[in-house]
Structure 1
Amino acid sequence: MRRALVVISALLLGAFVLQFVFAAVGGFTKPAGDGAYTLHSVNGMVVIPLLTLLTALVAALAKAPGRLIGLAILPIGLVVLQALIAMLADGFTDASGVSTPLSLTIGGLHALNGIIVVHVVVGVHRAARRLAGPVPADDGVAAREVEPA
């Protein structure tokens, strides 16, 4: 189950990498219509929350320390915060829907929070790898430390 935690946390990290790619796709789509950020939205509101819940569940089943289980569930809260930041930024556009300095500043917090959540997921993955222990050698022989000559 601990090896499964490593795999699922790697998948979660991969989903976050894709999230940044999908944000760039939306940002560079010309003309930018309502669907420019569809991949970003679906990944952020469906795939990432499901993988986060699965990661936390697998961490609990793997009898991971409580701190790791808590860290594994934290991205759900940060994803909710992402949605709130995006809605708040949209709420501060002007009457014609044009960005204002305030809406752009709030939108910048969306990107900053994205960086923070990726940092959390990297921490989950690293902790999962430590918890799983060393990976056995391919030939079935335990890996040995080489003593310096």
Structure 2
Amino acid sequence: MPRRWFAALFFSLIPAVACAGSMEWRNYVVPSTGAHVDIPVNIFTEDVGQPEGGIGRRFFTSDHRADLTVQSLPNPDHDTPAIFLKKRRPPADIQYKRVTPRFFAVSSVRNGRTWYNRCNLAKEYMNCVLINYPAAEERQWDAVVTRISLSLAN
């Protein structure tokens, strides 16, 4: 009996991202800018509306332990990704940073949560995804974050 109880508890704590084979992906488009990205709709089940400071949508997992923001941020000065990132004043403790002429991607851990941000250069916008999830579940989220990030397009 105790072993069965432990197994039930263990499997109930595994996040939905662990079941990668059963994920349903849909392409979300920011209508006014044309930015689009694949979203696992059986993970990010709650559409909570517009993000602050940009055009797009924000989504949560049903338990609110993780969130995804898809947005187009104005880039009126036509800044390169490096300059755009610098102007946003990212925290000094970034653990991952990649900047190219077409995009930037940064990630770190804050308050027990991993955050990942990628922005692609577009004509008058930076098209971005921002994902926050429990740092303890980083390995389970790797494939999901990678697919979301690589699917972001203008």
Judging by fraction of residues, say which structure has more strand.
Answer: 2
TM over 0.5: no
What is the TM-score normalised by the length of structure 1? 0.29
TM-score scaled by length of structure 2:
0.29
Larger Rg: 1
Query: Looking at both structures, which has the greater relative contact order when contacts are Cα pairs under 8 Å and sequence separation is at least 6?
Result: 1
